[in-house]
Amino acid sequence: MKKLKFVDSKILHKKWMKDPKYRRAYEDLEPEFQIAFQVIEARIVKKMTQSELARKIGTKQPVISRLELMKSMPTITLIKRLAKALDKKLTIQFN
């Protein structure tokens, strides 16, 4: 049996960013990545499960799961509720 070789995801990402198609797709999804990453990070820091966060904002766990997996685009209203539940200030900026 062939032994698997693991590659660091950061190294792969850096290599793939040299491909214009990959870079464009990645940059197009950057806002979704940021929302998902920041919700996950804040939820973990607060030691909350997806279910606990969902209950706190008046929704169900699958809504949080889809958001964290980038399978849905949240509304501004949902993002504001998440920020409040996670004791965060919502800031939107254009760079």
* Model confidence pLDDT, tens digit, residues 54-71: 999 999 999 999 999 999
Q: What is the pTM of this model?
A: 0.77
Sign of CA pseudo-dihedral 66, 70, 74, 79:
positive
Burial class (CB in 10 A: 0-12, 13-18, 19+), 64: buried
User: What percentage of the chain has pLDDT greater than the value 90?
Assistant: 75
Domains and CATH numbers, the chain: 12-85 (1.10.260)
